[in-house]
Amino acid sequence: MTPIEDFLANASSRMDKSVEAARHELNTVRTGRASAALLDRVNVDYYGQPTPLRQLATINVPEPRMLTIQPFDPGSVKAIERAIQESDLGLTPSNDGKMIRLPIPQLTEERRKELVKVVRHIAEEGRVAVRNIRRDAIHHLKELSTKGDVGEDEERRAEEQVQKLTDGHTSSIDELLQHKEQEIMEV
């Protein structure tokens, strides 16, 4: 594998990770529908340790606007309930001692517009991360060219390939954003 192929493969895998991180962040944004991914960012103080909620309970979606959380340890119900209330989700849990029910209220028009701003910001962060990777890759290619490891033509071709990679990954993020905006604005 030539140094250029190595750089391109490295840049591509880093860009893939940036797109995946943006996808994960977008999935944690609340829409009008119930989704277990909403609770991915919730950490529960379980015996003094911040523990992801997914490790403490089974999360189900019995109906489109309801999540149920079934803790493995019934003694952790209060801690889970508190963690959900303290999170930025704006949801109010109710429990029956064994299970927590989390109703997902209908979103108001104002809240939908706020959420669209949030997802646009997340997408922009993803695009910035991809562009930073492009900048690093082009910088390294220029270093290789300056050292004489690769010729100017090879460097130029590699820069074009890096740009194509960048365009492809930013368009992936744009598609994710468009899909999420539609999901949020759907009444």
Whole-number Å distance between alpha carbons of 37 and 24:
9
Whole-number Å distance between alpha carbons of 159 and 141:
8
pLDDT at 84: 86
- pLDDT tens by residue, 25-38: 888 776 767 777 77
pLDDT at 130: 94
pLDDT at 187: 63
Residues of the chain with pLDDT under 50: none
Structure tokens at 162: 């890096």
Q: Catalogue all structural domains in the chain, each as residue range(s) with its CATH number.
A: 3-27+108-185 (1.10.132.20), 36-103 (3.30.1360.40)
Indicate the helix (H) or strand (E) that contains 130. helix 109-147
Whole-number Å distance between alpha carbons of 69 and 99:
6
Contact status, residue 19 vs residue 173, Cβ threshold 8 Å:
yes
pTM score, two decimals?
Answer: 0.70
pLDDT at 37: 78
Strand order in the sheet with 66-71: 57-63, 66-71, 100-103, 94-95
pLDDT at 151: 81
- pLDDT tens by residue, 130-157: 999 999 988 988 888 888 777 888 888 9
